[in-house]
Every structure is written in C-alpha cells, then in structure tokens.
Amino acid sequence: MKDAECVRFLQWALPQMRLRWRGFRKVRRQVGKRLGRRLEELGVKDLDAYRARLAADPPEWKALDGLCRIPISRFYRDRAVFDHLVTEFLPALARRHGEVSCWSAGCASGEEPYTLAIAARQLGLPLRIVATDSEPHLLARAAAARYGPSSLRELPREWREQAFTPDHALRPAYREAVHFQRGDIRDAMPDGPFHLVLCRNLAFMYFDDALQRAVLAGIAARLGPGGVLVIGRHETLPPSDLVPCPASLGLYRRPDHA
C-alpha cells in the first residue's frame, strides 16, 4: 500500500480507538506493514475494503488495535534517564521507604523492569517491581528473559557481564524482584501505592487527550507522596499537580504533601 493511503486510513481509524495520529507519524510505516499482512490474512484487497470489514465485523477493531501497538524497548534505554534514576531517585526513595515499590507500565519484553532490577541489585537497594503489558507474547518473552546482543548494548558493561550468562540470558537472581501481569492500562491498573512509576512512550505518546487525562488520574492515584513518574523524553503530561524534576528527561515528582 502507498504511504498516503496508510496515512489517510490511520487518520480516520485512530480517533475511533481513542488514539491520536500525531503519535503515530514516525511509526506509521511499521503499522502500514502490519496492516498489509492483515489484509492478506483476511483476503481483503485494499484499505477501503478493510474499512467496510471493520463496519461489518466490529471485533476486527480489536485486531486493528493490536496492530497499532509498537513495542520498542532495550535495556537502559535513554541513558540519561536511567543515570538520574540510579544516582539520585532510587537511592533517595530507598532511604525514605526502605523497599521501593515500582510499576513498569507497558513493559513489553521486560527490558525496562529488568533494568531497574539490575540497577537495584548493583546498588544494594531493596526493590519490588510490578510490570504490566497487554500482549501475551511479549510477556512470554519477558518471562523467558533471553535477549539479543542489540537489546543489551546500552547497559553498562560491568552490569551486563554480571547479570547475564554468555548466551544473554538474565541470571535468576536478577529476575526475583519483577512480577509480570497481563493488563491494558486503558482498562485496569495494579493496586498501589507505588514510589516509582514508569509509563514511557505509551499513554502520553499514543493516546488521545481525554484518555491521557484518565490514565494520568489513575497513575496519580497510585503514586505516593514524593513518588516519581517517568514518561518518555519527548512526551508531555496533561495539566497535573506533578512537579517536573527535570521535565527534559520526562521525570516528575508528586509533592510530599499530596
């Protein structure tokens, strides 16, 4: 399919799924390739015919929603963000709370929560992590905890050598703190309170404004006083009482008096 056809289709379809076109501009070709494969599976000739299929078969919207999920993850992704977490926020939260309770929302194949677990073990900090994702195949990969070299390239070398076997499997000791659950942040969230929540390149990138506000309200209700929320570096929050610290890295703190 031509790029222009894909763009027109996404601009029509995304708002009906409470998603926004602006978040998909850079990944539209990935979505387009998935759409092409889906049309072949269904024996549908083009996107106009697929629109008709969606009208006649409402459950197909769920399949389309799955095609629009773009999990891009690797260990220690956005180095400056994790440097701040490791040197400042995790130690401070541990001094205040003892065991730090974390939630990794949209955890994909587990790279993000396992990065936290590795960091905490290296620092000698007690950490408990709930990691959620809506895709069963991604959670299965996370549970297997075996990765390709490209997923590990940003992880500090010493950590990589200590935490992984030579064939890039995460050692069991580094898995113990992470508990995976299937869940779509749009429908349900794990019980808090949490001292640290990571919701990066998900809600505040792809969801429409009203859904962003609803998700943020749910996260804020689970974020304890003084807790930290981490979003993507290129995302912005809807208006809230969270204080940027620093916003350029997508880190926000809930005031202690909240």
Arithmetic mean of pLDDT over the chain: 95
Q: Calculate what percentage of the chain has a pLDDT beyond 70.
A: 99
Neighbours of 17 (CB within 10 A): 17
Q: How far apart are the first and last CA of the chain?
A: 51
DSSP state of 238: P
Which of 24, 105, 8 is closest to 116 using CA atoms? 105
Q: Is the per-residue pLDDT at 67 higher than 80?
A: yes
For domain 79-253, the CATH architecture is 3-Layer(aba) Sandwich (3.40)
pLDDT per position as a tens digit, 145-189: 999 999 999 999 999 999 999 999 999 999 999 999 999 999 999
pLDDT class for 246, splitting at 50, 70, 90?
A: confident
pLDDT class for 256, splitting at 50, 70, 90?
A: confident
Task: Tell me the domain boundaries of the chain.
Answer: 3-67, 79-253
pLDDT the model gives residue 1: 81
Crossing angle of helices 60-67/28-42, nearest 10°?
140
Residue 226, Ramachandran bin (φ over 0: left; ψ between -120 and 50: alpha; else beta):
left
pLDDT class for 258, splitting at 50, 70, 90?
A: low
pLDDT per position as a tens digit, 101-114: 999 999 999 999 99
pLDDT class for 222, splitting at 50, 70, 90?
A: very high
Neighbours of 256 (CB within 10 A): 10
pLDDT per position as a tens digit, 15-37: 999 999 999 999 999 999 999 99
pLDDT per position as a tens digit, 197-208: 999 999 999 999
Mean pLDDT of 62-88: 93
pLDDT per position as a tens digit, 109-142: 999 999 999 999 999 999 999 999 999 999 999 9
